[in-house]
Amino acid sequence: MAAAAKNQPADEAVRNDIGDLMAELASRPKGTKPQRKLTGPERAAVLMLSLGEQYGGKIFSLLDDDELREISIVMSSLGTVEAEQVETLLLEFVGRLSASGALLGNYDATERLLAQFLPKDRIASIMDEIRGPAGRNMWEKLANVQEEVLANYLKNEYPQTVAVVLSKLRPEHAARVLAILPEDMSLDCVNRMLKMEAVQKEVIERVEQTLRTEFMSNISQTRRRDAHEVMAEIFNNFDRQTETRFLTALEDDNRDAAERIKALMFTFDDLIKLDAASAQTLMRSIDKDKLAVALKGAGENVREFFFANMSSRAAKMLVDDMQAMGAVRLRDVDEAQTLLVNIAKDLAAKGEILIAKNRGGDDELVY
């Protein structure tokens, strides 16, 4: 059958394979288990999972991003569909069956299927939106949800449920959520957590399912990056002259937007907010010649910050290198400083350093 399929159009090969599998499954004894009612998108998801990696690619390639996102969300939460229902459904689609057993639609199956036909960046975007905030399980996901968002959801839940959720969070995250909850509710939750014994597995699973269906799904479908954040990242990658030109023009046209972008930008000068350990980790990760060029065009306070986080001997050698290189082109300084900032962001994303940027008097972590 495989050899014949090579000489036939893909759709004809699919129909032939479906026919063979249909004949096999049609001979099996039928059960009496009632079939669940599937929505239109769920029926489409069953079809795509049935076609699998070999034949689904052509269909996936014809879908736009919105269609891909919708069917991916449905596939990831489809669960088990009994073989008999798969047979009935595919008879409606093509008149013949294309599955040999029950289907399980979940995150991993969806991601593996998409990986056969789509670029990695598109897959990552789709799966991130399905999964919501980063994390492999529910509690890892919650750890990446802003405390204001989580507290706003939890304040409408039963205190016992809130106590269970808080007990599963990291202490520092739970503390920030408790501080935002209404005072009477937060005190009730504290008392319940103090008296809480081992929570039954069934209770944890029920709470996880509620969070997944009522909270995370809403976040994943409504979460959009703020346009000013995106633009701040773009401005961070401009050279100094281009950045100044755009900001000056934007200030004349839309001063509020310009101020928001400047507040969100992470620049070379912000590196002085690194703690000592993070600064030393950063300096170990960059070529000393690049560091010398970057500091050549830096302000005195930035230079002193880096020198203070080196040994006296290393600082003297760096100063000597900077003096020895003479005049340096502004473009080279910009490139070296941008490199240093990007390395710092990469290290922060890996959890190796912490970057703190003051906004309105509060220290906020920037990754």
Same domain? For 305 and 270 the reply is yes
Angle, helices 159-168/171-180, rounded to nearest 10 degrees: 150
pLDDT at 253: 87
Same domain? For 98 and 19 the reply is yes
pLDDT at 28: 55
pLDDT tier for residue 110 given thresholds of 50, 70 and 90:
confident
Higher pLDDT, 28 or 257: 257
- Pairing status of strand 103-105 against strand 79-81: antiparallel
- Residue 17 confidence (pLDDT) above 60: no
Cα separation, 288 vs 306, in Å, equals 12
Same domain? For 109 and 14 the reply is yes
pLDDT in tens, 154-200: 888 888 888 888 888 888 888 888 988 888 888 998 988 888 877 77
Write down which residue in 114, 131, 148 finishes a domain: 131
Query: Is 245 inside any structural domain?
Result: no
Q: 271 and 341 in contact (C-beta within 8 Å)?
A: yes
Write down which residue in 190, 222, 254 finishes a domain: 222
Same domain? For 31 and 124 the reply is yes
Secondary structure (DSSP) of 336-361: HHHHHHHHHHHHHHTTSS--EEEETT
Same domain? For 86 and 157 the reply is no
Write down which residue in 131, 166, 181 finishes a domain: 131
pLDDT at 96: 42
pLDDT at 80: 85
Closest CA to 232 of 268, 269, 259, 270: 259
Cα separation, 224 vs 210, in Å, equals 23
Same domain? For 58 and 155 the reply is no
Same domain? For 108 and 218 the reply is no
Cα separation, 236 vs 55, in Å, equals 43
pLDDT in tens, 119-165: 777 776 676 656 554 445 677 777 777 778 788 888 888 888 888 88
pLDDT in tens, 289-345: 999 999 988 889 999 999 999 999 999 999 999 999 888 888 888 888 888 888 888
Same domain? For 124 and 195 the reply is no
pLDDT at 325: 87
pLDDT at 337: 87
Cα separation, 193 vs 201, in Å, equals 17
pLDDT at 362: 43
Same domain? For 113 and 166 the reply is no
Query: Is 98 inside any structural domain?
Result: yes
Cα separation, 208 vs 329, in Å, equals 56
| Distances 301 to 34, 77, 295 between C-alpha atoms, Å | 73, 53, 10
Same domain? For 109 and 148 the reply is no
pTM of the model as a whole: 0.36
Cα separation, 167 vs 161, in Å, equals 10
pLDDT at 317: 92
pLDDT at 105: 63
pLDDT tier for residue 8 given thresholds of 50, 70 and 90:
very low
Structurally, how many domains does the chain consist of?
3
| Distances 308 to 42, 205, 305 between C-alpha atoms, Å | 61, 51, 5
pLDDT in tens, 44-79: 888 888 877 776 777 777 777 777 888 888 888 888
| CATH number for 345 | 1.10.220.30
Higher pLDDT, 364 or 35: 35
Q: Determine the structural domain holding residue 277 and report its residue range.
A: 266-365
Element (H, E) at 363: strand 362-365
Higher pLDDT, 91 or 5: 91
Average pLDDT for 229-256 = 82
